[in-house]
Amino acid sequence: MQPEAFPLIRLDLAFESISGIIALIIAYYATKAYNLTDQKRLADLSTGFFVLAIGMFSHVIGTWYFYVRLGIEGDIVPEVRTTMTIVTLVYHFLQIMAYGLFVLSTRRGGRARQPEMVTLMALPVLLDSNLELITILLMLVVVVQALMNYATVRSRFALYVFSGFFLIFLNHLVLMTAEENVLRYLLSQGLQFLGFIALLLMVYKVGREE
């Protein structure tokens, strides 16, 4: 990572922290909905956003600790690099778990089945060669399901959800091509942030409109 990247990393941490808080708000709302309706898919949705928030906060804490607090510049020593790799792996693992839960909870028709869930949870262990690719594939399924839902219900709330998931999907696409390009990395984080803002708008409008 280039030294001039550090101020940008702080901005990235701010984006991710706010996105994590939004994920917690959505998890809270989904839990509330589950308590009232006993719909299992709402519980899966809630767990998904909760797991995603945990992943985001651990990523923020890990990055903040190594890059900002320790003030690492230039070459990173191997021990720190290993720890950062572990933090990133945990982050990807939690993201995959969360997106797997989104795939299950937002799919159209039927009820959530446990075997599918187990398979999805095992995916990161079975295929750890390219976690980002798995994340993109899972998110693609979520986006398609959100689009199909919007095409059916045609509500503005469903449009917000589709937009939110689509922006999060774009974030992963840009991230995959970012490599050492800090600006692309920041763009990807900005896209994710906007995606969560769209989801937050949905929750806000659902509560406000009569």
Partner 1 sequence: MSRKRAYRSKMRILADMMRTIQSEGEDGAGPTKILYSANLSHDRLTQYLEELIEKELIREAEENGNRVYLLTEKGRDFLREFVRIERFSEAFGIEI
| Residue 118 burial class via C-beta count within 10 angstroms: exposed 0-12, middle 13-18, buried 19 and up | exposed
- Cα angle for residues 168, 3, 60 (degrees, 5° grid): 40
Question: Tokens in use for 46?
Answer: 């809630």
| Single residue of 160, 166, 169, 196 touching partner 1 by CB under 8 A | 160
Q: Using CA atoms, how far apart are residues 88 and 73, in angstroms rounded to an integer?
A: 19
Nearer to partner 1, 179 or 208 (CB): 208
180 binds partner 1 (CB under 8 A): no
Count of residues that bind partner 1 according to CB under 8 A? 31
Q: Using CA atoms, how far apart are residues 147 and 144, in angstroms rounded to an integer?
A: 5
Nearer to partner 1, 61 or 201 (CB): 201
38 binds partner 1 (CB under 8 A): yes
Question: Tokens in use for 48?
Answer: 């998904």
Q: Using CA atoms, how far apart are residues 164 and 73, in angstroms rounded to an integer?
A: 34
Helix (H, G, I), strand (E, B) or coil at 208: helix
| Residue 114 burial class via C-beta count within 10 angstroms: exposed 0-12, middle 13-18, buried 19 and up | exposed
| Single residue of 70, 85, 155, 204 touching partner 1 by CB under 8 A | 155
| Single residue of 23, 72, 146, 191 touching partner 1 by CB under 8 A | 146
Q: Contact 55/95 with Cβ under 8 angstroms?
A: yes
Nearer to partner 1, 4 or 38 (CB): 38
* Cα distances (Å, whole numbers) of residue 160 to 8, 150, 174, 178: 28, 9, 21, 26
| Single residue of 14, 89, 133, 206 touching partner 1 by CB under 8 A | 206
Q: Candidates 41-49, 62-70, 126-134, 168-176 — which segment interacts with partner 1 by CB under 8 A? A: 41-49
161 binds partner 1 (CB under 8 A): yes
| Single residue of 27, 96, 134, 203 touching partner 1 by CB under 8 A | 203
- What is the per-residue binding string for partner 1 in 99-138, x denoting contact by CB under 8 A? ------xxxx------------------------------
- By CB under 8 A, name the binding residues for partner 1: 29-30, 32-33, 36-39, 41-42, 45, 105-108, 145-146, 148-149, 152-153, 155, 157-158, 160-161, 202-203, 206-207, 209
